[in-house]
Structure 1
Amino acid sequence: MTTKDPQAPDLAALAGLIADETRATCLLALLDGRAWTAGELARHAGVAASTLSEHLSKLVAGGLLTEERQGRHRYVRLADARVAHLVEDLAAQVAPTARRPRTLRESSAGSAMARGRTCYDHLAGRLGIAVTDALTARGLLQQETGFALTDAGLRWFGSVGIGLERGGRRPLARACLDWTERRPHLAGLAGAALCRHALDAGWCVRIGSGRAVKVTESGRRAFSALLGIGEDALR
């Protein structure tokens, strides 16, 4: 007689939560790291508010989302970085679609996401890869046995004024597979701190209300001076 793995039912339940196009659409949208109202997500997913509410309740009950209410509004966000990594890693396993963009707006949005975006709380896309490659080339990040900041890397973050608040179970550096570039970019505490600093310092700005970001003129100068990243990699 075989003994069923006790984790099997929970794994199947988790897979079932994600195995719905509307719920998957919500999870991908929430990778921007911000809280969305139920109404915003309903419009984004193209479904009725009542339908979306049922989906959100399942995601909250399953531990993938957290929610809070302010007056009439219900806000939801990804439960934590662990969920963001799960969604991004799954998205990276999906073969790129051959479907052509239906509109110029859709094409522009896709191009902007590929150039640079936030993946929950760190930089992704070609921008995230360029930063990761530059840190590695300068001996600030090593990738041989998983991502890890070197001693020089720790000093570099301090010299730039990027604080690394250690504590908890989240690793200092973590590889996150980029779903557009099919290569790992920097995540973890260091990736989050660098992304936060880039946005706060005005090196990067968000494009519209989504996840896409672009590098500003001051950002191009900063990335060039601090990491030697060429302008072509930042456009």
Structure 2
Amino acid sequence: MIEGPYIAEIASLIGDPARANMLSALMDGRALTATELSLIAGVTPQTASSHLGKMQTAGLLSLEKQGRHRYFRLSGQDVADALEALMVLSSQTNPRKRHTGPKDQAMRHARTCYDHLAGCVGVALTDALIERGLIRDQDHGLAITEAGSRYFEQIGIDIPQLKTGKRAVTRPCLDWSERRPHLGGALGAAILDRFLEKGWLNRRKNSRTIQITPPGYQALREEFGIPADLLAANV
């Protein structure tokens, strides 16, 4: 037998529809209870508990306890990256027809990818940061420029602090709906947090989708030159 990574084992865990729905629901970085995840997956609490235990044992999920409550979240960015990559692959290879509704459109337009901005708006923002010389392509990756360091510091993002962490500061993350990279890494997460703090963006309740507020619409147009027609569908 050929020795190698246990791809089949992880794939079988993710491939179960109920477990896939649970993992997808956790892609916005939230922690949810077993009861909430059972409702999302459409299974009984007992079945959900079994699924969650298997995924926790495999390292896909982490468990947090607060009093009598038990909360599950993705164990880290690497799990979110793998799920996003599988979404890209499934959209390219799945021949079944899918009915697309307003919720799907909102997800394609602006959503969270674990802890950073994704979708059409996320990709457009990444393009704008490159065009304005705030980040640059470097060896099939992304890097902050000197001008970028000054700008991000001005809007309240501590770049030296980001560089002290174990996580990559900037990394391209292939967007499953746009098929082009959006900005991930510690900087991508910090930008999303800052835009939420500024009131430029709002999280929609019980969803990964992101709403652009009127102040955000103006700021993203004026500071980053993102076209009005791209933003207008989300205001």
Bigger CA drift: 146-155 or 117-126? 146-155
Q: Deviations over 1:134-171 (max 9, x none)?
A: 00111112225212222222222112222232223211
> Distance between the aligned counterparts of 2:154 and 2:97, measured in 1?
44
Contact 1:38–1:73 (CA under 8 A) maintained in structure 2: no
Moved more, 82-91 or 157-166: 157-166
SS at match of 2:183: strand
Query: Are positions 1:114 and 2:108 aligned together?
Result: yes
Instruction: Say if 1:131 and 1:229, in contact at 8 Å, map to a contact too.
Output: yes
CA distance in 2 between partners of 1:86 and 1:116 (Å): 20
Does residue 152 of structure 2 align to residue 152 of structure 1?
Answer: no
Q: Deviations over 1:46-93 (max 9, x none)?
A: 111111110000110011100122333221000111111111111111
**Identical positions, percent:** 45
After TM superposition, the runs of 4+ consecutive aligned structure 1 residues lying more than 6 A away are none
Q: Is the 8 A contact 1:31 1:211 kept in 2?
A: yes
- 8 Å contact kept, 1:78–1:84: yes
| Residues paired across the two proteins, number | 226
Judge conservation of contact 1:38–1:53 (CA < 8 Å) in 2.
yes
Distance of 2:201 and 2:41 partners within structure 1: 27
Task: State the TM-score, normalized to the length of structure 1.
Answer: 0.90
- The answer for the alignment partner of 1:71 in structure 2 is 67
The residue number in structure 1 matching 2:157 is 162
Residue 13 of structure 1, CA deviation: 2.2
- The residue type equivalent to 2:99 in the other structure is R
Q: Partners of 2:142 and 2:88 in 1: how far apart?
A: 18
CA distance in 1 between counterparts of 2:39 and 2:226 reads 38
Q: Kindly report which structure 2 residues correspond to 1:52-201, keeping only aligned pairs within 5 A, or say none.
A: 52-95=48-91, 98-101=97-100, 107-145=101-139, 146-164=141-159, 165-201=162-198
Aligned Cα root-mean-square deviation (Å)? 1.6
> SS of the counterpart of 1:147?
strand
- Structure 1: how far apart are the matches of 2:147 and 2:230? 24
Q: How far apart are the structure 2 equivalents of 1:32 and 1:4?
A: 37
Contact 2:91 2:176 in 1 (8 A): no
Q: TM-score, normalised by structure 2?
A: 0.90
SS of residue paired to 2:164: coil
Cα shift readout 1:7-55 (whole Å, capped 9, x = no counterpart): 33x3332222212111111111100101011111111111111111100
Query: What residue ranges of structure 1 are gaps of 5+ in the alignment?
Result: 102-106
3-state SS of 1:99 partner:
coil
AA aligned to 2:231 is L
